[in-house]
Amino acid sequence: MLKACLNGQRSRAAHPAVPVTPTELAADASRCAALGVAAVHVHPRDAGGVESLRPAVIADALTAIRAASPGLPVGVSTGAWIEPDPAARVAAVRSWSVLPDFASVNAHEPGAEGVAAALHERGVLVEVGVWTLDAVEAYRSWRVPVGRILVECMAEEAPVALADAARILAALPPSGVAPVLLHSEGPATWAVLAEAVGRGLHTRIGLEDTLLLPDGTSAPTNAALVTAALAAGAQ
């Protein structure tokens, strides 16, 4: 599976093509879906452009994307930087009026299992993000079912990111527990994507993870990044 990660924490100041509004997210998702991505991951923003877990903000983004691309699975982040208080993150999930198909929860963040439990209770597929070996250990203690494991390699240097990926993948529970999506951010993005392709794992690409094409030139759009990932063998 190739997932398009459309915006993340980036603002329009970081790249003029970063989609922010529900209309922009919907248009970008539609373009990426037409190219063949299996899902999109978005960070919805309020009217001021600030990431938010509030029900109306989540609903506006999801509704717009689904209207433009019926049937395309859509996921959101529950990162602690959006709402630092774990109890408030749980309350936000329980108050959502429109539900995403999946949502990511970083295992190393305070209250992560509680957020995951709230998502599962509402029928939302949980993606657990593991960035380190300590995060893998934290995830192993969860009692919440997980639908996908996100192995996220945050080192900037490609050799370090690839070594981290190998260690984390080796430390995961036996295969068959949940499918794995392997990806990186920044300079190591394309090297880790190639590793995911080589291992037959899910992966992702988009302006959240990198602003550059494989040749080091600026990526004009999310669609251009998706096209490059498909050319590199991502499915």
Task: List the domains of the chain with CATH numbers.
Answer: 2-231 (3.20.20.70)
How many residues does the structure list for the chain?
Answer: 235
Question: pLDDT at position 176, please?
Answer: 64
Decide: 2 and 35 in contact? Cβ < 8 Å: no
Q: Is 124 exposed, middle or buried (0-12, 13-18, 19+ CB in 10 A)?
A: buried
Per-residue pLDDT for the chain (235 aa), expressed as one digit of tens each? 999 999 999 999 999 999 999 999 999 999 999 999 999 999 999 999 999 999 999 999 999 999 999 999 999 999 999 999 999 999 999 999 999 999 999 999 999 999 999 999 999 999 999 999 999 999 999 999 999 999 999 999 999 999 999 999 999 987 667 999 999 999 999 999 999 999 999 999 999 999 999 999 999 999 999 999 999 999 7
Question: pLDDT at position 175, please?
Answer: 63
Q: Is 125 helix (H, G, I), strand (E, B) or coil?
A: strand
Enter the pTM of the model. 0.96
Q: Is 20 exposed, middle or buried (0-12, 13-18, 19+ CB in 10 A)?
A: middle
CA angle 156, 158, 164 (to 5 degrees): 85
Under 8 Å CB-to-CB from 170, ≥6 apart: which residues? none
If we measure between CA atoms, which residue out of 31, 33, 83 comes closest to residue 57? 83
Report the distance separating Cα 227 and Cα 98, nearest Å: 30
